[in-house]
Structure 1
Amino acid sequence: MPPKYILTPEQQAIAEQRRAERAARKATDAKKDESMKFLRREWLELRTAHNPIKVLTWNTENLCSPQRWHIMLNVKSFACRYVHVGYPRFDGQECDMLPALLPSLPNHTPITAAGPGKSHGLVILYNNSIFTQLSSKVIHLDFENLIDNHPDGNSMETTALMKRARASSRYTKNIALLAALSSNTNPKNGVIVATTHLFWHPKYTYERTRQALVLTRAIRKWQSEDGLVHWPVLLAGDLNTQPSEATYHLLASPHIPLSLAQRQDLQESLVVHNSVEKIPLIPPCSSTQTTVPDLSASANSGTSTPGQIKTAEEKEEDHDDKDDKIAANCRSPMLDGSDGLPTVDRLVKLYQEEFPFQGAMSVYDYVFILPSHPSLSLTRKQVEVDITKVICPPHPDQLGKGLPRKEVCASDHVAVGCELDIMW
């Protein structure tokens, strides 16, 4: 057996240096892999789809701090591996962080809009290899009438009638974004997409319920004006509601009586906030956009992004939105009915008139498929849509003590997604 080779001191030093370099590279790669992790969620298949499209709705608002941008940088990995580029559409809210998502979503076109004085807003992101934008529209929910009343003129009487017709309980500046997307294979086929962020406070159910109804009316009106009543309507967004609440119940099952608890919640929320006096008579002029700012310079320099900067109006709203301010600045509706707020029974009736036969045909969390347009006859229904896959929700134990959370989700909201089969 030949004698064992012994390294010289110089060779030993070189070997030690190489081992240290390999260990450092391994540690760096492990750290990099760790930072790219996210909570994996599987698809649950219900049935086979013939004409599948996938829908994702996700509110990417999370932190109002310098950490926000660094957390959102990890979304690139999240989007590339989870929000697959095959998604025909992405509905979302809080689109101030959209530039962090777009590099991972090639062949997608964003449609964006924001409310008055807002630094963030809504986005509908669709796959332009599958769909083409036919038209889009912004709906200002504070300015939509709840009661069918169309006064004209500028007299004080007309002003009072307009306020009564709107039946608003507060000035929210909430908007909705609508888009008509036609199929690239057959432009006669398409879908109407609507996304929104309804009023947030859990205690004040009425305003959220009012907004959901006036939004549905606005969608129906827009369908009629554009001659798209046979196209299916997908409503997805942060509706700030749940199945046990009146808003969700009336959208899904308006002809099933409300529970006693739901009626009580609605009744107790029939109050008027002093912000209603700030609602202008004429709605602001808003248009949609299909471009987003380039935030790469901000990311590289370490400076704050536009999504972190709040306008003066938003700072004032944050102050007003505190629980004590909301409660202190509310009053009961005027006895003469000048505020326009309906009774609970009247509100239920308005929903039943808007949905004469049924509520949403299919519902998956915050994805609603609206029933056929009321103008369609029983023999000429809209294109049918069915849910064929869903993204399994995370288990509460996986979310830890709250979101956003490293290795789980970059936002304080989890994404909701499903696959739809459109019977074109």
Structure 2
Amino acid sequence: MDTSLLPGALAGLRVLDLSRVLAGPWSGQLLADLGADVVKVERPGAGDDTRAWGPPWLESPDTERKGESAYFLCANRNKRSVTLDLGSPEGRALVRRLACEADVLLENFKVGGLKQYGLDYASLRELNPRLIYCSITGFGQTGPYANRAGYDFLIQGMGGLMSLTGRADSEAGGGPLKVGVALTDILTGLYASVAVLAALKRRDVSGEGQHIDLALLDVQIACLANQASNYLVGGVAPHRMGNAHPNIVPYQDFPTADGYMIIAVGNDGQFANLCKTLGCPQWATDARFATNSQRVRHRSDLVALIRDVTMGQTTDFWVQAMEAVGVPCGPINSLDRVFADPQVQSRNMRIEMEHPHSDQLPLVGNPIRMSESPVQYRHAPPTLGQHTRQVLTDWLKMTDAELDEIGAGNTK
């Protein structure tokens, strides 16, 4: 059976995406990948802020414009773009009409920012009681910081992640660091998608929609996972440890003859195999290292011993030797090596789509693998306003005459 011809898991679901930048668009892209019809509403002439966040650009054949930024392309696949001016009565009226036809609305305006347009949850609920309305902000709809703007970098600092990321203050190059991608935005987008699906399931029973209030700060704290639990249970605030793990040893990077590798030992059996591979089986029975709790206690002694040995061979040598005996390990790849990796290639994590500016637009694939309703790549990230007439016809049944009267774009 050709599963590529099957409808997506969320086929028939309509999502109105009023969000921009990353957290909201990431959620919208995930829902779209799973089959939902996601309509992205953008400002005429400008669009999503990230359309201007380049270089690099996917070059446009029109030499008078820059083309699409790589940043925008990463989070807007499978969507249709509509340009509407929320500052005009006509634009607001069309958004309200679209909301009446939607199952889900995503937005990341400042708290109360859409109320002035009559597009807040309370107003739209009167028009569409079944609407799932998901608001994403930096600090949530309530609390003393509710009216503050929130950005990923800021939240990584305020939410504790940067207190855990980077080398220890006592080491060269020590100090707080942000994660190399806007991870809080990404995680918030994932939480938003989960919340939307849960709200839809409840709507199947109750017949009513609801408001979802998601805050980047809340998500960041929730995702501190074991580090937050370590503090709450142990009463001691964790500190930066570079690439080391607070609860497991050895679980970090180690130098080799030609670079670095990661060793991630998760149990005592793996540690014994590591010791044999390194030519030092006696470490596995040494009272200082025999159990993980003892290895954590004597971390500095053990790490120094392992480093002295690993520097004697190349990364590839050690990875091959350790994989043969079941010791989790691997190289630290740059992105060119990531996308050249045979495992990554076999999983189709690099895809190509046709785009108005390129016959072969490279994108990162969706990691979800579903046997009966697989992810489908239907639309490349849209150009600004590319689908305005198409969507207004599909969702609102507007005629060509009506579209011409309001000056809707001619792209079909």
Which of the pair is proportionally richer in helix? 2
**Higher RCO, 1 or 2 (CA under 8 Å, sep at least 6)?**
1
Shared fold (TM-score, shorter chain, > 0.5): no
TM-score (norm 1): 0.27
TM-score (norm 2): 0.28
Which of the pair is proportionally richer in strand? 1
